[in-house]
């Protein structure tokens, strides 16, 4: 049985970012993924490094 990802965007500050999901794969391990959305892009159409680094700070 595949464990489905849950949206983390409803958790406090995360609600402003969106596109971030997680799932628990064992009692002590989680798996995370991010979906880049248009509002994550800068004027050059590139996702800045801050987008990636914020996930290291959050989790």
Higher-pLDDT residue of 58, 21:
21
Alpha-carbon gap, residue 15 to 32, rounded angstroms:
16
Q: What would the mean pLDDT of 8-20 be, rounded to a whole number?
A: 63
6: confidence class by pLDDT, cuts 50, 70, 90? confident
Does pTM top 0.85 for this prediction?
Answer: no
Mean pLDDT of the chain: 77
Range of the domain at 24: 6-58
Write out the E strands in 1-59: 6-7, 20-24, 30-34
1 within domain boundaries: no
10 within domain boundaries: yes
Contact 5, 22 (CB under 8 A): yes
- How many domains are contained in the chain? 1
Please check the confidence at residue 14 and state whether its pLDDT lies above 60.
no
């Amino acid at each position: 049985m595949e464990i489905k990802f849950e949206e983390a965007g409803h958790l406090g500050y995360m609600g402003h970012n969106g596109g971030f999901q997680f799932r628990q794969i064992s009692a002590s391990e989680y798996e995370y993924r991010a979906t880049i959305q248009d509002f994550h892009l800068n004027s050059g159409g590139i996702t800045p490094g801050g987008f990636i680094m914020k996930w290291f700070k959050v989790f």
